[in-house]
Amino acid sequence: MLKALGDNTRYAIYLEVARSATPRSTSEVAETLALHPNTVRPHLERMRDVGLLDVEIESRGSVGRPQHRYSLAVGAPSLGLEPPVFPLLARMLVEVAAAAGAGSEEAAEIGREQGRAAAAAIRRTPSCIEALVVTLEELGYDPAVASDDDGERAVIAFTHCPFQSLAEEHPELVCHLHRGLVEGFVEYLGGSEIESFGTLVDREPCQVALSAG
C-alpha cells in the first residue's frame, strides 16, 4: 500500500479522496487537482487494486458509461486525516455557534487559545514564521511563503482551506477562528508581529502578513 503512494501525483489524488466526506468520481478529482481524467483514472485504479480505495459503480441507465466513485477503503492508512464524520460534526457545531449569536471576536478568542496551545507544544525553537508555516502545513492549509530580501517581512498565503465550504457559509466564525489561531500562535512564540490578516471575505487565497518583532 505504502509503495503505491510513493508517486507524488498518486499521493495527491489519495489525499483528495481521503479528505472528502463523500465518494469522489474521476472527473471530480481531476477537476480539483487540475489534471486530465485520463491521468487520474489509472492512479485511482492502481490504489483500488492494492486495497487503498473502494469503488462504487453508479449506473446511468442505458446511456453512457457507468460512473465510478472512489472512497477510502476500510483499513487504509488515514495519514492523519480526519474521519468522515468530523466534517459533519464541524458543520453542526458552527451552526450551533451561529444560532447562539457568536461573533467574530468570540471565534477569534477561541482560536487564540488553540494557537497558544499549538505553539506551547513545539519542542524545537525555529523562528516564529518557520514554526507557523510547519503548523499550518500540518493543519492542511498548504501555506505558500513570500518574504523580502532581508527577511524582515513575510506574507503567508493559505492556498488550501480545509474548511472551505464552512468558511464560505460562515466566514464571521470560521475565518476568525483561523485568524485567532494565528494570532495566538505568534503571540506565544514572539519574534514576529502580525501586520494584517486577510480572510476569505477580504481576498482569495486568504493570507497573513508578518514582520519581525
Decide if 78 is inside a domain: no
Structure letter (DSSP) for residue 66: P
Whether the pLDDT of residue 125 is over 80: the answer is: no
Q: Which of 89, 88, 84 is nearest to 24 (CA)?
A: 84
Q: Which of 79, 83, 65, 70 is nearest to 40 (CA)?
A: 70
Cell numbers 505568534 correspond to: 186
Residues 68 and 169 in one domain: no
Domain that holds residue 60: 3-72
* Mean of pLDDT values over 80-98: 78
Q: What percent of the chain has pLDDT over 90?
A: 46
At 167, which amino acid appears? A
| Predicted TM-score of the model (pTM) | 0.61
Cα 9 from chain centroid (whole Å): 18
The pLDDT confidence band at residue 82, using thresholds 50, 70 and 90, is low
Number of independent structural domains in the chain: 2
Residues 116 and 206 in one domain: yes
Residues 118 and 188 in one domain: yes
The pLDDT, as a whole number, for residue 151 is 66
* Mean of pLDDT values over 62-73: 79
Whether the pLDDT of residue 212 is over 80: the answer is: no
Whether the pLDDT of residue 213 is over 70: the answer is: no
Decide if 150 is inside a domain: yes
The pLDDT confidence band at residue 149, using thresholds 50, 70 and 90, is low
